[in-house]
């Protein structure tokens, strides 16, 4: 590859016109993914527009459920004039919130707003075991599954669905040299390149 083309490709990568996939020593392909910074980066939680969606989001995400239940301890029901009612949700009422939210529109609105705010807060690394967003390898696999068979064959990309019985390893694997695969990608005018993981 000549130097001028390398400069152009580096600029295209920097400006997002070319996607880069990392290839490790055994050929496993990974999407270039930043570490999650916010809860929204780490968890797949959609816009909660109904009580059932709030309940489903909390049930599917233990860190959100814990944060909601902690916040609910200080929740006070407001009347139409913005005054606190004497009813305060405390630890004993935590299990009842799923019933309350379906009956109390103000509680639903408060919880939906709380979830939006929680999603924008900085992620707690200690919650990493619950992170729901797909791994870098899984994202690469999803991407290459949408690429045509002939193109995959020319690139030297293959899918591994478990290395042996009982294995959970599923990935797209590059069986050719990175430089060779990049030249094929250039020739086919594909919107990605490969780089060797260090």
The domain of 152 spans 3-35+134-196
Residues 6+ apart with CB under 8 A from 6: none
Looking at 109, 130, 151, the residue that finishes a domain is: 130
Point out the domain boundary residue: 93, 114, 130.
Answer: 130
Smallest CA-to-CA distance from 39 within 116, 139, 118 is with: 118
Confidence at residue 163, expressed as pLDDT on a 0 to 100 scale = 61
Q: Which residues contact 34 (CB under 8 A, 6 or more apart)?
A: 41
Q: Residue ranges of the chain with pLDDT lower than 50?
A: 78-81, 84, 86-91
Query: Can you give the pTM of this predicted structure?
Result: 0.53
Residue 51 shares a structural domain with residue 116: yes
Whole-number pLDDT of residue 181: 96
Does 57 share its domain with 105? yes
What is the pLDDT of the chain when averaged over all its residues?
82
What is the rounded distance in angstroms from the CA atom of residue 112 to the CA atom of residue 93?
19
Instruction: Provide the pLDDT for residue 154.
Output: 96
44 and 119 both lie in a single domain? yes
The pLDDT of residue 139: 81
Count of domains observed in the chain: 2
Q: Given CA atoms 106, 108, 109, 113 in this order, what sign does their dihedral have?
A: positive
What is the Cα–Cα distance from 95 to 55, expressed in whole angstroms? Answer: 12
């Amino acid at each position: 590859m000549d130097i001028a083309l390398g400069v152009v490709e580096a600029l295209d990568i920097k400006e997002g016109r070319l996607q880069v996939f990392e290839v490790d020593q055994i050929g496993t392909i990974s999407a270039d993914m930043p570490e999650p910074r916010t809860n929204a980066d780490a968890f797949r939680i959609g816009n909660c527009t109904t009580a059932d969606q709030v309940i489903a989001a909390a049930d599917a995400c233990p860190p959100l459920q814990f944060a909601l239940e902690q916040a609910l301890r200080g929740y006070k029901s407001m009347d139409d004039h913005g005054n606190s009612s004497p009813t305060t949700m405390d630890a004993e009422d935590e299990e009842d919130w799923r019933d309350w939210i379906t009956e109390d529109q103000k509680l639903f609105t408060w919880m939906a707003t709380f979830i939006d705010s929680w999603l924008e807060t900085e992620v707690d690394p200690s919650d990493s075991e619950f992170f729901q967003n797909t791994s870098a390898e899984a994202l690469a696999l999803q991407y290459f599954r949408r690429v045509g068979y002939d193109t995959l064959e020319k690139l030297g990309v293959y899918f591994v669905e478990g290395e042996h019985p009982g294995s959970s390893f599923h990935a797209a694997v590059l069986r050719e040299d990175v430089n060779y695969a990049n030249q094929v990608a250039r020739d086919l005018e594909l919107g990605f390149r490969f780089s060797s993981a260090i």
